[in-house]
Structure 1
Amino acid sequence: MSHTDREYDLVVWGATGVAGRFVSDHLTERYTADDLALALGGRDEGHLRDIATELKARTDGWEHIPVVVGDATEPATLRAIAEDTHVVCTTVGPYTEYGTPLVEACIEAGTDYCDLTGEVTWMRKTVDRYHDAAVDAGARIVHSCGYDSVPADIGTLLVQSFATEAFDAPCDLVRVYLEGGRGSVSGGTLASAAKLFEAASADPVARETLRDPYSLAPPGEREGVDTGEQHLPRRDPLRSDWTAPSPMAPVNERVIRRSNALLGYPWGRGFRCAEVVPTGDSVGGAAAAGSIAAALGIGTVALSAGPVREALQRFVFPDPGEGPSRDEAEQGYFTVRLLGQGTNAAGPFLVEGTVAADRDPGYGATAIMLGETAMCLVRDETDSALNGGVLTPASGIGYPLIERLRNAGMTLTVREAPDEP
């Protein structure tokens, strides 16, 4: 968007929360006030000013960081903020509870927006309710710009771009492997997971969203060859490993399929994708895959039962706002590997991609991914023909985000896969 009369380039909404604080840290460490007109947003003005003071003391080039105050229960305050900035970058979840008024405010103001939601049932609602309005307003509403779902979505774009250039054909199948990582889960993340299951227990549309592999595709396009995420241990079709279900597959696979649809099916209508956890090719690998599948099944049953879910939230889950320290986040890491399989006139081919970071995936690395997504929107750095709508990282921004993530220290590589991937 181009609004020369707006005071801010970017508002980090939820800067007093754990994720918002990490995003604010990243932006103020990487950029200066000469590069970026940044404001911190939230409900608590005093807490926001304390954070601004800490950021100014720890970084160079930030003599003044303004704060803006609003409340999700008071839509007029959100509209005023949206009207005063080019981009809103929000970390405030559960989005099912707090996200919709901000999306509405950004569309009304023609303001670009990005978040880190993994709440696929809420995303389905924004797709159905707001996509057309966002297109008309020229507002880019970009969901899932953190660990959900940048490595899977942008990684698939990286693999497909390489395949098209090197082999003159896209991959028919892309498999995403959560190969390794170390990180922590905050109270806000767990609260978002609980809201997802709460919605599914009460809302038939939410239940259908979790059943339909194409539930985030545009209306009229919600069908295809994929049958849904893996639920049981299984030998992988592209490598010798056993694999277990991925807890993130219900979100990431649907985001990838939406990207393909919004981009006009450059990967074909028969394109398939899957996300799994590799556990090795031995008997131990099979046992590990079974254990992961069983644990995910038990967790799903527990969160689906209202009394159990409420007890977990009250007595087990950390409170929203609790999460890793800065040092803990910097000690984390993750590696996501992708394999794409296709066929051209010369025969079958295989492409290998990697997305990795030396930060906690849910916080340190997510701050990089969300912050750099916001900067792509601020600078209008996209290779997408879509100038508005409810979008994904790959469809709404594309390759410029890959370059920004590389420049920010993340690893994104792609090559023809070796014979033994």
Structure 2
Amino acid sequence: MATASRQYDLVLLGATGYTGNLTAEHITKHLPEDLKWAISGRNISKLQALISNLQVLHPDHQPPSIEVTDLSQASIDALVRKTKILPTTVGPYHRYGTPIIEACAHAGTHYLDSTGETPWVYDVAHKYHDLVRSNGAIMIPQCAEESAPADLVAFLRSSFLREKTGHATKEFIHSIQEFNNGFSAGTLHSLITVASSYSFQHLRKSLHPYALCVGRSPSSSPFIPKGFTWLGSIKVKEVGLLTDSVIGISDTTVVYRSWSLMDDYGPRFKYWTGMKARNRVTGFLWHWVLAISLPVLLITPLRSQTKSSTTWKSVAYSDSKPSHTAECSMSFERDMYSLTAILLAEAAMVILRPDRENWAMKLGGGVLTPATLGHQFVERVISAGMKMEINLVDKAPE
């Protein structure tokens, strides 16, 4: 369905929540003044209070309109037909997201969300991909701090290797080096309720590394770096001692979906993500506690943080010439919810106003990934505060 005549360019659903507030602030401060947009939620008083705050931030800007919704199906259907794109921060998504994404799929409305709930993404991606593509819409779940950084750097690194060497990527190892952030109560609630909302069989199927692949999947078994054993850690020369990543599953499934959708990576592409370990003992303990009792671990990050920041390091090895490696460092000096706000707002701008062709456009829409928005998206995120550096090194991997 064509969206050219819609009332709004963008409607932000869930604007009065914590992440929604941050997204609305970023849109107000950084997106074009001629953007026709609205904030939406269930509480008119909270929406009006947010408008007042946004006017203080940027008094010269025309404030967004208000669209109240009770989240009934009729209300959602009416809302999504008013806008070209709908970013939503209303979670848990496995409880509230399906009617929204279904309405957007039928209306041909572009869609973004901040979920990290992989079992839910598995369901909606397989159910709605063909319908969304037939309507020409671009729908990107997991356009947030959990999976978008890994997805974007995997795309950028593979493109960089191909551009500089003419070779595809064989192995890509990504890692979180520092994570000085806290989880909100809403995030904790979403993560815990996912485990109790799906059967063991569904979780096993949907959390497989290749579960989100479209049309193809790697012929080999899931990639684990050589030397990673039951001891729970691996030393990678370029990035250090690594153990399992707490967001490894969501990162891995999204990166492999991008690989299956695009040709930039190479047919033998393999991906693994980890997290820096202080030593072998802590790596061992983290590996097994994570495997056995993830919900318990999630209580720890609720402590307050005086300064939030995250750093990543990764390395990609060339398919045809192993001595060619691309090394990347990436950092963000604010909290992860601020990064999610940037990702949602800037992804919306790439979809609404692309300045070059990207894979989302080539594919004609569908349930896609952050990386399909291409280099323009990466550039906008970097301009908004993400730091990223990639270097080509000629040396043999260990």
- The normalised TM-score by structure 1 is 0.85
Per-residue deviation, residues 129-150 of structure 1 (Å, max 9, x unmatched): 1000001111111111111211
Change over 3 Å in CA distance of 1:30–1:213 after alignment to 2: same
Counterpart in the other structure of 2:380: 404
Residue-by-residue CA offset, 1:360-381 (whole Å, 9 max, x unaligned): 12x1122112221121112135
Structure 2 counterpart of 1:367: 341
Within the alignment, does 1:221 sit opposite 2:195 as a pair? Answer: no
**What's the CA shift for 1:232?**
5.1
Mapping 1:8-407, distance limit 5 Å: 8-32=8-32, 34-72=33-71, 74-200=72-198, 202=199, 204-210=201-207, 212-218=208-214, 221-227=216-222, 233-239=232-238, 241-263=240-262, 265-279=263-277, 285-300=279-294, 331-344=307-320, 348-361=323-336, 363-381=337-355, 383-384=358-359, 385-395=362-372, 397-407=373-383
Tell me the amino acid that sits aligned with residue 216 of structure 2: E
Q: Deviations over 1:77-136 (max 9, x none)?
A: 111111111110111111100111111111121110011111110011011110000011
Native 8 Å contact 1:213 1:228 kept in 2: no
Gaps of 5+ in 1: 304-308
Residue identity opposite 1:227 in structure 2: P
SS in 2 for 1:398: helix
- Equivalent residues of 2:10, 2:83 under 8 A apart: yes
Deviation digits for residues 298-331 of structure 1 (CA, Å, limit 9, x no counterpart): 433759xxxxx9xx8xxx998xxxx98xxx79x3
Change (3 A) 1:266 1:65: closer
Unpaired runs of 5+ in structure 2?
Answer: none
The alpha carbon displacement at 1:214 in A equals 0.6
What is the TM-score with the length of structure 2 in the denominator? 0.90
Identical-residue share of aligned pairs (%): 28
> Does the 8 A contact of 2:244 with 2:273 survive in 1?
yes
Quick one: structure 1 residues 357 and 209, their matched pair in 2 at CA, closer, same or farther if it must change by over 3 Å? Answer: same
Judging changes above 3 Å, is the alpha-carbon distance between structure 1 residues 348 and 209 closer, same or farther for their aligned structure 2 residues? same
Structure-2 separation of matches of 1:301 and 1:104: 29
Over 3 Å counting, the alpha-carbon distance change for 1:400 and 1:337 in structure 2 is same
Q: Deviations over 1:39-68 (max 9, x none)?
A: 111111221111111111222432332111
- Secondary structure of 2:293 counterpart: helix
Residue 145 to residue 347, structure 1, CA distance change in 2 (3 Å) = closer
